[in-house]
Amino acid sequence: MALQPTQPVSGDDEFGIIEPLCAVFRRSLKDAGLKYTPERAQILDTIIAFDALFEADQLLDELKTKGFRVSKATVYRTLKLLEDAGIIQRVLFDRDQSHYQLAYGNAGNTLLVRVDTGEVETLELPELVAIRDKICEARGLKPEGHRLQIFATGG
Amino acid sequence: MALQPTQPVSGDDEFGIIEPLCAVFRRSLKDAGLKYTPERAQILDTIIAFDALFEADQLLDELKTKGFRVSKATVYRTLKLLEDAGIIQRVLFDRDQSHYQLAYGNAGNTLLVRVDTGEVETLELPELVAIRDKICEARGLKPEGHRLQIFATGG
DNA sequence: GTCGGTGCAAATGCTTTGCATTGAT
DNA sequence: ATCAATGCAAAGCATTTGCACCGAC
């Protein structure tokens, strides 16, 4: 169970970015023989409303604030389903807790973390993909994904 | 306590790579008013004997195998000290467990992870440092470190 | 005799799971 | 009826901490 890369999203996104995520989720659930329940809808909506990274606990709080009553267990179970669907990805830079964010395409693999303020910016870094692919090719490997975190201070 | 970058090693390494680590550790301990105990020496030796990444538990096993009797608590406490000294660094790509490795200079920020076999290769990627510095500079930030994991399969 | 170090066991904190109940087809 | 979903509480697991004892200067 260790060493799993973040699941890359399937690509294209021919519809735009945010709106069809619920459709993507529905399809993914249906394909797995699972249901699109109110709790799962509320969780996805709440995640979309976030503008940045979040933790399971924040999500739980936000759900409560919105008046949704969803249990912690369901939150964790749904996070896993959303990850399977490629809708969110885990972005780990802290051993104590998982941090998640929406996965638009392959975005979000690169994070700029302000260690002084805790701010996090998501970067697009096409050069990095090129470097990655070159490295893999040189070894006869197929790239499956990557994750970069840059830490910085000051400003 | 979150969002801490891996502590970069102080540089230079004018002595070679492995041998003086114990001296580095000693100095770091002395500077902090701490002692270089047999347990700490055994832990460092055992880490040096590893050729790759390791987890706290593996380390504990290996210590047992070598006939050293060191408690789990001491292992964790010493890992933290070694990290402070810049001798090892945490390399996290799994939320369940911390993975550590020796930090030679700034090496080890970049890992190539075979997701099918679990093999891990440490890469040097100077281009990445350049990219990182450029990004930080463009925002008036000072780079403190970075971490890249590349996931790949096949071969 | 003062400090730090160690080991043990208990505590922590995030995440997962077992189980009884509920709801949809 | 069946099959999955939910909530709760309990369990898991890596890591940390409190505390009593030990050893070095």
pLDDT tens-digit map of A83-92: 999 898 887 6
Neighbours of A148 (CB within 10 A): 22
pLDDT surpassing 90 at residue A41: yes
pLDDT at A107: 55
More confident residue, A97 or A46: A46
Within 8 A of B113 by CB-CB distance, chain A residues are: 3, 5
On whether the CB atoms of residues B118 and B111 are closer than 8 A, the answer is no
C-alpha B108/C-alpha B145 separation (Å) is: 11
The mean-pLDDT minimum among A65-79, A117-131, B124-138 falls in A117-131
Distance, CA of B71 to C1' of C7, in Å = 6
Q: Which residue of A has its CA nearest to B118?
A: A3
| Strand C bases with any atom < 7 A from protein Cβ | 4-9, 13-18
Higher-confidence position of B114 and A155: B114
Average pLDDT, chain A: 81
**CA–CA distance, A26 with A144 (Å, rounded to integer):** 25
Predicted local distance difference test score (pLDDT) of residue A96: 65
> Which pLDDT score, from 0 to 100, does residue A94 have?
64
For residue B99, what pLDDT is reported? 75
- The reported pLDDT for the residue numbered B101 is 75
Amino acid B95: pLDDT: 61
A13 touches chain B (CB under 8 A): no
Q: How many residues does chain B have?
A: 155
Confidence of residue A100 (pLDDT cuts 50, 70, 90): confident
Q: Do B146 and A142 touch (CB under 8 A)?
A: no
Q: Which pLDDT band holds residue A104 (cuts at 50, 70, 90)? A: low
For the domain spanning B1-105, the CATH number is 1.10.10.10
User: What burial class does residue B18 get, using C-beta atoms within 10 Å of its C-beta: 0-12 exposed, 13-18 middle, 19+ buried?
Assistant: exposed
Looking at residues A42-49, what average pLDDT do you find? 93
Report helix, strand and coil shares of chain B as percent, to nearest 5: 40, 20, 45
**Is there a shared CATH topology between the B1-105 domain and the B106-155 domain?**
no
pLDDT tens, A19-39? 588 899 999 999 999 999 999
A111 CB inside 7 Å of strand D = no
Listed as ranges, residues in chain B with pLDDT below 70 are 1-19, 92-97, 104-108, 118
**Among A98-102, A130-134, B38-42, which is the least confidently predicted range?**
A98-102
pTM across the whole model = 0.73
Question: Token match 């992870």: residue?
Answer: B113
CA-to-C1' span, A56 to C7 (A)? 35
Instruction: Please report, for chain A, the start and end positions of each structural domain, with discontinuous segments joined by +.
Output: 1-105, 106-155
Residue B7 vs residue A43, higher pLDDT: A43
Asked if strand D comes closer than 7 Å to A78 Cβ, the answer is: yes
Nucleotide nearest the Cα atom of B29 (by C1'): C4
Nearest residue to C7 via alpha carbon and C1': B71
Give the per-residue pLDDT at B108. Answer: 61
**How far is residue A44's CA from residue A29's CA, in Å, rounded to a whole number?**
13
Residue A8: predicted pLDDT: 38
Confidence of residue A99 (pLDDT cuts 50, 70, 90): confident
Exposed e or buried b per residue across B112-140, where buried means at least 16 C-beta atoms within 10 angstroms of its C-beta: bbbbeeeebebeebeebeebbbebbeeee
Q: pLDDT over 90 for what percent of chain A?
A: 44
CATH of domain A106-155: 3.30.1490.190
Amino acid at A120: V
**Cβ(B108)–Cβ(B89) below 8 Å:** yes
